[in-house]
Structure 1
Amino acid sequence: MEKEKISSLQLFYILIGFEFGTTIILGLGAGAKQDAWIVILVATVSSLVLMSTYVKLASFYPNMTLIEIIPKLIGKYLAYPVIYLYIAYFIYTAGRACRDFGDLIVSTILVKTPLVVVIGSFMVLVIYCLRGGVEIFGRMGEAVFPIFMFSLTIVWILLLSVESIQFKNLTPILGNGVKPILKEVYPKSLNFPFGETVIIMMFLPFLKDQKNAGKVGFAVILIGGILLTINSVLIISVVGPELYQMDYFPLLSATRLVSIADFLERFDALIILMMVAGVFFKMGAWMYGAAVGIAQLFSVKSKKAIILGLGTIITPLSLVIGSDFVKHLEIGFGLIVTYVHTLLHIILPILFLCIAFIRKKVLS
């Protein structure tokens, strides 16, 4: 086990930035239209069960990551395929975060810049930070999170100033019934972004005070869910439920409607700043989780070379994930979120917890 440690607050910053990631600018729960904010609230409450599963499982095996826990539960040989699956998932999802970031940048401010240049440049920054270790990553959280929240607050204030804002866009509440909400929550919104916090199990061994693991996890889910709900309410109030459902980046579209005295306009830079901060933590957490997993699997002491290698894999992977952004989203929400996420976020962790409980309480 490494000597590097991070504080509870640093882990919170990393995970809340990770949870926001690309989610903050996407239309979360869009299938429920004006009830999207209800989708987020229901998913938030449901996700507390998932987080309690992750934290409780980790408590049975303190100072161990998920990759180290799995062999203890199902045996060495059965564990290998599952471990490989989780590591491949971490790498693949990091590539998806890269692609989300790259497509937003190329479609907004760097329209003539090749996608590979945008993603590659950002990857260099992430690699540079992660090679410094988890402590540096935690300090980046302390530095970047306040900037992120400041930008988000400014954006919300600006949205409230838009002349076309109408809170009646949120009505009729439950106008389409409960079914669209449940369809969006289970498993889509439950898995993305809340279920992705399974990555916490790769960071808990680095936490200074293990007793705060549950507090950090639940705070990330609750605070993140509340902020995403407020964000969804404001976006729908500005652009309406139809555009919220159809637009790939509804927060960006809503912000473009801001005009103060016909002079201060085009606040796209704030959205880009938030996206850069969010994706930094999302991609960084996935990459670091994969690096830790590979290092533990193959008994490698230093992760620096692994992180560099992952960067050279994830960058081209992000380019071939989908032929275009539409295909990229179709694969993500149609296949990955529905099936892969359900297996890795819900089914396996609950199964592992049941096995751990039997081993610790029944067989001991």
Structure 2
Amino acid sequence: MLNKVKISSRQFTILTTLFTIGSAILVVPSGIAALAKQDAWIAALAGLAAGVIIISMHILLAKQHPGKTLVEMLDTLLGKWLGRTVALVFIATLFLCGPSAVLNILSNFLTTQMMPETPIQSLNILFAVIVLMGVYLGIETFSRSAELIFPWIALLYIAFIVLVSFDVKPTNLLPVLENGMRPIWPAALSFVCTAFLPNIILLMIIPSVDNRRNEAGRALLIGGIIGSVVTIVIITITIMVFGPEFTARSMYPTYALARKISIGNFLQRLEAIMATIWFISLYFRMTIYMYAISIALAQIFNLKEYRPLVLPLGMLLVVMSVIVYPNITYQNSWDTRTWIPYTLVIGFILPLLMLCLSGFRNLNKQG
């Protein structure tokens, strides 16, 4: 059985938190500041409120189909052939938009900020190998690793916030709502599409959670809230230090924020703190993506074991990560024109339709 391994609800909370933080902690501040300027923190809070509703919808869907993954839910609601066709399209597109894009973002960051002379392909291969090791060892292994590493991540994050707080200028948040609520909504939508809607893939993992006390749904919600709050704090502090204009122009404003730390001309250039937090959260985001995709494909094709799929998917991941974003201009266009409607379809419209179908099935059974 693919779901025979069980993890605790606490481990699932940590995995959800790290998955939610993912690439958002470094990339989101610039995009949301470009839309909402100094009111980006308000837009992020609005996105958090909407995200809680979306996660609650995912939890309700999981409760209506206990012990089933997203693929198995589609099988039940749409029938074997249509359900698996929809699941295959979902997984194939998510593979391109999820782990392939994340690996590309990581390697671009390393080659532009830290190791400019290193070939991007070698970085992709090295990081992919580590991710595939985690996927092959299974969810029990990498969830325990996340449980061990998470306290250190929290400590680094708190240290970062404390050290950078010496440079904050609250006046950079003024005037509040200078342009009214109009720019808040697209910025909030951008936040939701990054922090919450991709969490639909966690429904592939939720059957592996030890749910004897019905804590899996609560773990999913708490993890999403914690991860989004971490991102909101980063957005707010980045704007208070740099102002909305620089934050919007910078590609990695949080990394620039870490480079700005200087206390007594002794404690400075601590960008390794932010890089460490980001690398670890990205590792777990990619590992969860790849594990969920492997499990989904195994279920679609009736395989008893997902591990034979790990190496072929890893090779495909390295290739696609190089070509998924040909250049930065294409990436920016993709993020605004394609990523938002795509995540709305898979993270909101698809589960909403599945809930409606579940409701109709229940009515028919009662009738």
One-letter amino acid matched to 1:332: D
C-alpha separation in 1, matches of 2:328 and 2:307: 31
C-alpha separation in 2, matches of 1:139 and 1:329: 35
What is aligned with 1:48?
52
3-state secondary structure, aligned to 1:26: helix
Equivalence map 1:94-173=2 (5 Å): 94-162=99-167, 165-173=168-176
> CA-to-partner distance for each residue in 1:123-166, whole Å, 9 max, x for gaps?
1111111111110121121122222222211111111123xx21
C-alpha separation in 2, matches of 1:33 and 1:218: 28
Quote the offset at 1:172 in angstroms: 1.0
Aligned-pair identity in percent equals: 26
> CA-to-partner distance for each residue in 1:19-58, whole Å, 9 max, x for gaps?
0001011234221011111111111111111111111111
Quote the offset at 1:221 in angstroms: 2.5
Maintained 8 Å contact 1:91/1:310:
no
C-alpha separation in 2, matches of 1:358 and 1:47: 26
Is 1:254 the counterpart of 2:262 in the alignment? no
C-alpha separation in 2, matches of 1:33 and 1:75: 47
Maintained 8 Å contact 1:10/1:138:
yes
C-alpha separation in 1, matches of 2:328 and 2:311: 26
Maintained 8 Å contact 1:202/1:289:
yes
Quote the offset at 1:361 in angstroms: 4.0
3-state secondary structure, aligned to 2:177: coil
One-letter amino acid matched to 2:57: T
C-alpha separation in 1, matches of 2:267 and 2:230: 26
Maintained 8 Å contact 1:101/1:275:
no
Pick closer, same or farther for the CA change 1:279–1:339 going to 2, 3 Å: same
One-letter amino acid matched to 1:317: M
One-letter amino acid matched to 1:60: Q
Equivalence map 1:316-331=2 (5 Å): 316-331=319-334
What is aligned with 2:344?
342
C-alpha separation in 2, matches of 1:113 and 1:218: 40
Gaps of 5+ in 1: none
What is aligned with 1:65?
69
Quote the offset at 1:71 in angstroms: 1.7
C-alpha separation in 2, matches of 1:100 and 1:6: 30
C-alpha separation in 2, matches of 1:228 and 1:293: 29
Equivalence map 1:164-203=2 (5 Å): 165-186=168-189, 188-203=190-205
1:302 to 302, 305, 322: 305
What is aligned with 2:21?
20
One-letter amino acid matched to 1:121: L
Quote the offset at 1:307 in angstroms: 1.4
User: Which of 313-322 and 143-152 deviates more?
Assistant: 143-152
Maintained 8 Å contact 1:90/1:289:
no
Quote the offset at 1:334 in angstroms: 2.1
C-alpha separation in 2, matches of 1:189 and 1:275: 17
Maintained 8 Å contact 1:151/1:270:
yes
One-letter amino acid matched to 1:123: A
> CA-to-partner distance for each residue in 1:239-270, whole Å, 9 max, x for gaps?
11101111111111111111121232211211
Maintained 8 Å contact 2:172/2:243:
yes
> CA-to-partner distance for each residue in 1:227-247, whole Å, 9 max, x for gaps?
222111111111111011111
3-state secondary structure, aligned to 2:183: helix
C-alpha separation in 2, matches of 1:324 and 1:87: 24
Maintained 8 Å contact 2:21/2:228:
no
C-alpha separation in 2, matches of 1:241 and 1:79: 45
3-state secondary structure, aligned to 2:5: coil
C-alpha separation in 1, matches of 2:227 and 2:206: 19
C-alpha separation in 1, matches of 2:259 and 2:329: 22
Gaps of 5+ in 2: none
C-alpha separation in 1, matches of 2:105 and 2:281: 11
Is 1:288 the counterpart of 2:318 in the alignment? no
C-alpha separation in 2, matches of 1:105 and 1:257: 19
C-alpha separation in 1, matches of 2:149 and 2:310: 21
Pick closer, same or farther for the CA change 1:339–1:110 going to 2, 3 Å: same
Is 1:333 the counterpart of 2:330 in the alignment? no
3-state secondary structure, aligned to 1:80: helix
> CA-to-partner distance for each residue in 1:159-206, whole Å, 9 max, x for gaps?
1123xx2111011111111010112223x2221121111122011110
One-letter amino acid matched to 1:101: L
What is aligned with 2:235?
232
What is aligned with 1:242?
245
What is aligned with 1:3?
4
User: Which of 317-326 and 10-19 deviates more?
Assistant: 317-326
Quote the offset at 1:363 in angstroms: 3.0
Quote the offset at 1:115 in angstroms: 0.9
TM norm structure 1: 0.95
C-alpha separation in 2, matches of 1:4 and 1:125: 21
